[in-house]
Amino acid sequence: MSAPLTRTALRTVSTAPRRVSARMMSLATRAAPRVSPSTAVPRVAMQVRGMKTLDFAGTPEKVYEREDWPLEKLQDYFKDETFALLGYGSQGHGQGLNLRDNGLNVIVGVRKDGESWRQAEADGWVPGKNLFSIEEAATKGTILMNLLSDAAQTSTWPHLKEYVTPGKTLYFSHGFSIVYKDQTHVVPPENVDVILCAPKGSGRTVRTLFKEGRGINSSVAVFQDVTGRALEKAVAIGIAVGSGYIYETTFQKEVFSDLYGERGCLMGGIQGMFKAQYDVLRAHGHSPSEAFNETCEEALESLYPLIAQNGMDYMYKACSTTARRGALDWAPEFEAACKPVFERLYQSVKDGSETRRALEFGSRKTYREDYDRETDAIADQEMWRVGHVVRGLRPNRK
């Protein structure tokens, strides 16, 4: 039997570089003076639009777009601010590099000589210049971006809160610590703005879409508005960290929907449904390659992109009449089967059960090793070992 395909091993698989068109390169010359030529990011021209109220299937909602905050305006708005990025995980990496490429004054605060410190140095952050300990960065910063893990936010808050002084802004990318304060004990002082911008994707995606000139969608919320401009500040930061468009929410709604979605359709539900379908095919004598192609590869490479581009109805219409008929007939069956699970999941998020589980696990000294053990077990499932081979057959991988 072959050796397990761990996450570390899978990171070595490279993808083909994207080409940047001459038109995109010409647009990049619009970069403002504070962005050096070596770090300027190509920007894609978009229709100029502003903040507006849109009709979402009968419900009006405010939407903010990148064109509300051109680069020159962002740089002027934040000219007297220092972004202190506390933590350099997935979101810290993506948001920090985007802020830096946008020519804003940003520093990173992490534990000296730890893994995050080494990653930050590899990304060009310089000790003593824009890379500091968490305490020193929190002292120097005016906008404290608390992007530590949820468990780390809980354990560091008793010490970190002394740096959240009047005139500063406390920023999050998740409502977790504030909403579940009974468990996290994160209660900010009453004399500072407390805001969030939550990109709807991993920090790596935040970075990739920014470099492509596209931008991720994000939500913003205000927990505390002392200055009277907390929402404006949250939206501006949202654009500065790489958002393409932004919608408003609350801290509570953000964390409820986020925890619920991660465990459901975004990650947990997908893995569970893929695994169930694959195992049934294998049990009925289908080969590994056929089971994977009919379960995962066709979904990810063919059908899901159609949904992303044009909607579910378009994807249905793009398939054969036989496929369409079966999908229409069985969708209600899956909805009926899944809805009780989703109701139970939402209640688990709402009553704090998911928070307790996450904090308990994330507080273990061995949490990294424990997570790696579980995710490596997924990588070693036959379905994903087959997937590693199938992905290698894609023409773009060659």
Annotated binding site: 258, 262, 294, 298, 320
Angle at 144 between CA 141 and CA 149, to 5 degrees: 135
Q: Which amino acid is at 370?
A: D
How far apart CA 246 and CA 216 sit, in angstroms, is 9
Binding residues for Mg(2+): 258, 262, 294, 298
- Among residues 93, 159, 174, 284, which one is catalytic? 174
Angle at 367 between CA 362 and CA 372, to 5 degrees: 125
User: Edge-to-edge strand order for the sheet containing 59-65?
Assistant: 52-56, 59-65, 243-248, 216-224, 193-199, 169-172, 143-146, 83-86, 106-109, 131-132
How far apart CA 193 and CA 353 sit, in angstroms, is 29
Q: Which of 115, 14, 83, 77 is nearest to 235 (CA)?
A: 77
How far apart CA 147 and CA 85 sit, in angstroms, is 7
Residue 174 bears catalytic tag: yes
DSSP three-state, residue 83: strand
Residue with tokens 């305490």: 135
Q: Which are the catalytic amino acids?
A: 174
